[in-house]
Structure 1
């Protein structure tokens, strides 16, 4: 009987945060409906439309290696930040 009373009190105390969370999620869903849809271009078409001069520049500057290095560094930073006592 004592456990039932404690469970009822816990339900009463937790009702407000749950209701606030529900309202927040409903509001965010409503706001996301306001955002217009974005037309995404096909990546292959974008690279096919680049001119020869731009492709030459990207090749000389080793764009593929640089992009890989940048994303690898960002991933390593993210992982290291998640380790306790380091990040």
Structure 2
């Protein structure tokens, strides 16, 4: 009988945070609906607009490898900082 009373008390105490969380989620969902749709630009048309000299230097400096290496390092740092006692 005492266990049922404790369970009922816990349910009453946790009802308020659950309702607040539900309202918060509903509010965020409503605000996300306000964000306008973004038109996605075709990347080929963006690169067609670049000059030949810029493309030459991007190739010489291996821009594609550099971006890949930087993104890999940032993701690895993010993951390692999530591990307890390391980050």
Q: TM-score, normalised by structure 1?
A: 0.86
Which position in structure 2 is the counterpart of 1:34?
A: 34
CA distance in 2, matches of 1:84, 1:76: 15
**Other-structure match for 2:24:** 24
CA RMSD across the alignment: 1.5
Q: Deviations over 1:13-46 (max 9, x none)?
A: 0000000000100111111111111111133443
Counterpart Cα distance in 2 of 1:83 and 1:48: 43
Q: Which has the larger displacement, 34-43 or 12-21? A: 34-43
Q: Which runs of 4+ in 1 moved over 4 A?
A: none
- Listed as ranges, the matches of 1:42-61 within 5 Å are 42-61=42-61
More displaced, 70-79 or 40-49?
A: 40-49
Q: Any unmatched runs of 5+ in structure 2? A: none
Q: How many aligned positions are there?
A: 87
Structure 1 residue runs of 5 or longer lacking an equivalent are none
